[in-house]
Amino acid sequence: MPVLDVGALDHAREMLLGRALAVLAAWALLNLLVSGTLLKQADRRFAPYYFHGMNVGWGLVNTVLVCWGILHLRFTSPPGLRLAELVAGQLHNENLFLLNTGLDVAYIMTGFYLRALAAVPGQPRAPRLHGFGQALWVQGGFLLVFDAVVWSLLHWQGRGWIPLV
């Protein structure tokens, strides 16, 4: 029977989360650089201004989330870590990403709603609603794929631990 190395399992999970944070950081940086640049060139009367403004806002929020996540990464396993604690932490992370996947769908649906409101004849804030709706599609779409992939990777990783419990 193989010897169980809980520290190695914990390290593998932390490495996966660290890579996920790197992807989210790259997305945040891309939003800040591209939309930040295009926002300066956009006219406030048109939808692209609001689209890029919303993307910059999402970039800032994602940057804060990445910083928070990095601060909570562990580079060494705590001494005396038990398998039960490891599995509980794994389930917490899986549930968090699964919840976020549901929120991402809500972002996309809100984008559809805002775009529909923008199409109402005589809507005084049509460009704003249109731009915000587009940004919610882009951000929600990326985050939906991101959260679903990270959840899948975590779930696949943790599935191998079940026989050990």
Instruction: With respect to residue 57, please indicate whether it lies within any of the assigned structural domains.
Output: yes
Residues 6 or more apart whose Cβ sits within 8 Å of residue 60: 28, 32
Structural domain count, the chain: 1
Note down the domain range covering 62.
6-164
Report yes or no: 49 and 43 within 8 Å, Cβ to Cβ: yes
Instruction: With respect to residue 158, please indicate whether it lies within any of the assigned structural domains.
Output: yes
Per-residue pLDDT tens for 53-73?
999 999 999 999 999 999 999
- Amino acid at position 116, single letter: A
Instruction: With respect to residue 33, please indicate whether it lies within any of the assigned structural domains.
Output: yes
Q: How confident is the model at residue 158 (pLDDT cuts 50, 70, 90)?
A: confident
Does residue 20 carry a pLDDT above 80?
yes
Per-residue pLDDT tens for 105-133?
999 999 999 999 999 999 999 999 999 99
Rounded CA gap, 117 and 165, in Å? 52
Instruction: With respect to residue 11, please indicate whether it lies within any of the assigned structural domains.
Output: yes
Q: Would you state the pLDDT for residue 2?
A: 59
Considering only CA atoms, which of 44, 109, 49 is closest in space to residue 117?
Answer: 109
Count CB atoms within 10 A of the CB of residue 69. 15
Instruction: With respect to residue 1, please indicate whether it lies within any of the assigned structural domains.
Output: no
* pTM of the full structure: 0.92
Instruction: With respect to residue 17, please indicate whether it lies within any of the assigned structural domains.
Output: yes
Residues 6 or more apart whose Cβ sits within 8 Å of residue 89: 13
